[in-house]
Amino acid sequence: MAHSKILVVDDDKKTVNLVKLYMEKDGYQVLIAYDGQQALELSRQKQPDLIVLDLMLPEVDGLDVCRILRAESKIPIIMLTARTTEQDKLLGLDLGADDYVTKPFSPRELMARVRAVLRRVGEEEYKGPPEIRCGDLVVSFLRHEAWVRGEPVHLTPKEFKLLDLLIKEPGRAFTRLELLDRVFGFDYDGLERTVDVHVMNLRKKIEADPSRPTYIQTVYGVGYKFTEDRLG
């Protein structure tokens, strides 16, 4: 994606100029916004292929920008932030951010993340069935929705991505690191339990008895798999 259009949002002009320099060297077209309101307007007008979004912004906060954009589109978002607590990372990812880079960062690392996210988005053109049924569970990939016993299930973007990945390869045991990389798009040390938390939340929403799951099964010493018994 040599000519992808990228929107860089940060109120620090030095950071913006540095990122812009590296991106243009890589052949990307760069759009710039210095506050959240400008970011929303530009993303709606120009439809960028990816957004690099700072968390701490004037006008509209980065998390709010992420939440609003996610409700409107599937544009991939990489969060930039000086906050380093796990809770902040999880909050950004739960709102639908595709990756997370902590300040201070190396421009090379950011560029590697940009390339990885754009590559992953390119690979996500799904050619399988528009929906999969398994027992009382129905998952629609076109609508990004799920139902249990005919009732809609309200999943976060990451929960849907996790379910999507597992149900498309029933019986395959995914390691936590694999799920972390494929679903969250990053490999931070110590965040493997992020996967456990999301699996637990997903089970509460789709399983009749989350303590005795029939859909998402634990593979001890490895990770998780989707049952292959009840697909039809």
CB 206 within 8 A of CB 148: yes
Distance CA 124, CA 77 (A): 15
pLDDT for 2: 44
CA–CA gap between residue 12 and residue 14 (Å, rounded): 6
pLDDT for res 14: 92
pLDDT for the residue 88: 67
Pairing of β 216-219 and β 223-226: antiparallel
Asked: is 131-226 a CATH 3.40.50.10710 domain? The reply is no
Q: What is the pLDDT of residue 1?
A: 38
Q: What pTM did the predictor assign? A: 0.58
Regarding beta strands 50-54 and 5-9, do their DSSP bridges make them parallel or antiparallel, or are they unpaired? parallel
Query: Is the bond leading into 104 cis (omega within 30 degrees of zero)?
Result: yes
pLDDT, one tens digit per residue, over 93-148 is 777 788 888 888 888 889 988 988 888 776 655 566 788 999 899 999 878 889 99
Query: Which is nearest to 8 in space by CA: 45, 39, 37?
Result: 39
Q: What integer pLDDT is reported at residue 180 of this predicted model?
A: 83
* Location of each CATH 1.10.10.10 domain in the chain: 131-226
Q: Which of 183, 186, 184, 51 is nearest to 113 (CA)?
A: 186
CATH of range 5-123; options 3.40.50.300, 3.40.190.10, 3.40.50.2300, 3.20.20.70: 3.40.50.2300
pLDDT-flagged residues of the chain (< 50): 1-2
Cβ-in-10-Å burial (0-12, 13-18, 19+) of 65 comes to buried
pLDDT of residue 43: 93
**Residue among 140, 148, 158 nearest 198 (CA):** 158
